[in-house]
Copies of this chain bind each other. A is one copy, B any other.
């Protein structure tokens, strides 16, 4: 009988190795052999677990967004107060990045760069930024809507504001990636929170 290998665990190991290298060098510049080396295996071995580089790319996408989604759901589920929800949302995003050193965020650049392109690409079934962000924005819009209904928030255009919030979070993340030193992500998130809430709260 042969070695017993937890196929699922090893696949995940490779995925994480890939994510790391992707973050460092970018998806395009990452060669299969780089991933293999990072994972401490031979390049041929990768193909025992993944059919192609593209498939790894797709799985990395899922890894990131499933993770993100889960974090968000958790952050929002803790409370029923729209104000609290927004706070949690922003904080979770910020903390998440601080802790993961933005590795995944760095990869997201590649998803964007890739996902933004030609709609006819096969990858778009997998890397569907449109869908991901739609859901994300809807989530926030709901919160805002809730807040307005309960009189906590002013009567703003919820969809625009949701887009802004999402954009601001992503944008802040970008800024932080570009230069961790000049940005205090924690402070930024607080200011964002204060300013925004200040701007929409019914005083």
Contact = CB atoms under 8 A, between A and B. Distances in A.
Interface string A105-146: 010011011111110000000000110011001000000000
Contact of A24 (B118, B166, B175, B182): B118
Interface stretch (A5-13, A75-83, A195-203): A195-203
Contact of A117 (B2, B26, B130, B199): B26
A165 to B, nearest CB: 9
Interface of A: 2, 24-26, 28-29, 42, 44, 106, 109-110, 112-118, 129-130, 133-134, 137, 156-157, 159-161, 163-164, 166-175, 177-179, 182-184, 187-188, 190-192, 194-200
Centre residue among A110, A166, A197 by max chain B CB count within 10 A: A110
29 contacts: A24-B118, A25-B118, A26-B113, A26-B114, A29-B117, A109-B109, A112-B112, A115-B178, A116-B177, A116-B178, A129-B178, A130-B178, A134-B179, A156-B191, A160-B183, A160-B191, A163-B183, A163-B188, A164-B168, A164-B188, A164-B192, A166-B171, A167-B169, A167-B171, A167-B174, A168-B171, A170-B170, A196-B199, A198-B200
A170 to B, nearest CB: 4
- Interface SS of chain A: helix
Copy number in the complex reads 4
Contacts of A190: 160
Contacts of A194: 156, 199
Given A137-B175, A195-B200, 17 more contacts: A25-B117, A26-B113, A116-B177, A129-B178, A133-B178, A137-B182, A160-B183, A160-B190, A160-B191, A161-B191, A164-B188, A166-B171, A167-B169, A167-B171, A170-B174, A171-B171, A198-B198
Point out which of A28, A157, A164 has the most chain B C-beta atoms below 10 A from its C-beta.
Answer: A164
